[in-house]
Structure 1
């Protein structure tokens, strides 16, 4: 979709987003288990499945991340937020009608993936209960040994309006890749390692450019292999998480999803 910062993000969108952040009472990022991002058994993980479908994927991913931001405490439930309000929070055009419909479609999709349980409707707001981010339908929990977090600045500094869904997904992937590495030893991926995230080459290429253009990513070409081995040049990736602590400036030309 067109970047909402150019078309539909309003002062009301920003006010409601800040209200949700305050209502969540979070002081740090939102945590996700590795199983949300990657699958080592050859299946597509929830993150990549949410993203598929062009404009719909953008809405689904940002809605799911923002619902997870809000439902920070037991029982991880959200009540009485109308679809039009979610549409305003995400900066969707025509929030009263088309925007609300897109939110409804996104909720149905996420429920079909067993990431949420949805109840109600027919003239009243639908209640949402978060389920496991791994998509197995179990009780919500992000605790799985280690975890990957989306910094609070993603919402507080309005990066959610600046970035496309593809770039948001890759940002989470890069957070997973970075782990405990240092800038002097940035991570790189083999083809098989890359596949476990389930993102297409087109998504990877497009999102890499967008994150780089926004100062969130540095990509370098470095040789891999020991001194006497055949050495291949591979891309290394270093995500600048600290950049999310700065306000997201509006793009000169909004990118297309």
Structure 2
């Protein structure tokens, strides 16, 4: 598991086909600290449940420890159980109680459709060059490296920072190579349904952590035109290989 990348469908992150409902990521985040717990928990389940059966049977305290919730054996575990309930009600997981044992948590498709989970990369590989547009749209994905968990980033980054890490990875096209990215507040709202506060706070935190570089670029290439600057962002996922302990938790 430690060497496994997490594949995350873009449908979880961005709104496609002009759908009126916010994408799952935007819905996950709403609700303050509870939103951050739900987001981190679902990503963690995606990471650990990619094997056969796509289920996990860990005690709630294990996930509470993974994302560094206070008092993981008690308060932290209760917050995980609350998040289980929320995720199950939104058709992102299915939970089977087992008296005396940890619940069996089965991953469903992260689009929120309620469909059985399948590994998106495997689906696209099986479809091959004959994959339809619908198949491509349903299963396009980004990857998060195992270092996101093993180096502690899952615990130190806030909900907005995690969300913007995912958004910038989508904008980057799923690769790890840093390139300049830009999107307007209107585009962020339209495609991702994230507030300006979430977007700006998340990007600022990623920059503080050394995961994103913010640069100023002139909108008009004419050297004689009035200078109009905009921010562009360079996400470097390779920086996740650093130990997150050097970054203060928020």
> Structure 1 residue 89: deviation in Å?
2.5
Q: Is 1:93 matched up with 2:70? A: yes
Q: Is 1:221 matched up with 2:233? A: no
User: Residue 245 of structure 2 corresponds to which residue in structure 1?
Assistant: 249
* Deviation sequence 1:195-224 (CA, Å, 0-9, x none): 111221111111111111111101122233
Change (3 A) 1:230 1:251: closer
Write the distance in 2 (CA, Å) between the matches of 1:230 and 1:175: 32
Change (3 A) 1:112 1:231: farther
Q: How does 1:196-207 map to 2 (within 5 A)?
A: 196-207=191-202
User: Residue 115 of structure 1 corresponds to which residue in structure 2?
Assistant: 92
Write the distance in 1 (CA, Å) between the matches of 2:214 and 2:84: 35
Q: Please, what TM-score do these two structures have when normalized by structure 1? A: 0.80
Bigger RCO of structures 1 and 2 (CA < 8 A, at least 6 apart): 1
Write the distance in 1 (CA, Å) between the matches of 2:10 and 2:101: 35
Q: Is 1:237 matched up with 2:233? A: yes
* Deviation sequence 1:92-113 (CA, Å, 0-9, x none): 2222221111011000011111
Change (3 A) 1:225 1:135: farther
User: Residue 117 of structure 2 corresponds to which residue in structure 1?
Assistant: 140
| Structure 1: gaps spanning 5 or more residues | 1-23
User: Residue 171 of structure 2 corresponds to which residue in structure 1?
Assistant: 177
SS for the counterpart of 1:207 is helix
User: Residue 11 of structure 1 corresponds to which residue in structure 2?
Assistant: none
Q: Is 1:36 matched up with 2:12? A: yes
Question: Could you tell me which of 146, 159, 170 is aligned with 1:165?
Answer: 159
C-alpha contact (below 8 Å) 1:133/1:141 kept by paired residues: no
C-alpha contact (below 8 Å) 1:33/1:142 kept by paired residues: no
C-alpha contact (below 8 Å) 2:66/2:155 kept by paired residues: no
User: Residue 126 of structure 1 corresponds to which residue in structure 2?
Assistant: 103
SS for the counterpart of 1:134 is coil
Write the distance in 2 (CA, Å) between the matches of 1:51 and 1:164: 10
> What is the total number of aligned residue pairs between the two structures?
228
> Structure 1 residue 235: deviation in Å?
1.9
> Structure 1 residue 58: deviation in Å?
1.5
* Deviation sequence 1:75-103 (CA, Å, 0-9, x none): 20112x22223222222222222111101
Question: Could you tell me which of 191, 207, 225 is aligned with 1:212?
Answer: 207
C-alpha contact (below 8 Å) 1:148/1:175 kept by paired residues: yes
Change (3 A) 1:88 1:170: same
Write the distance in 2 (CA, Å) between the matches of 1:122 and 1:28: 31
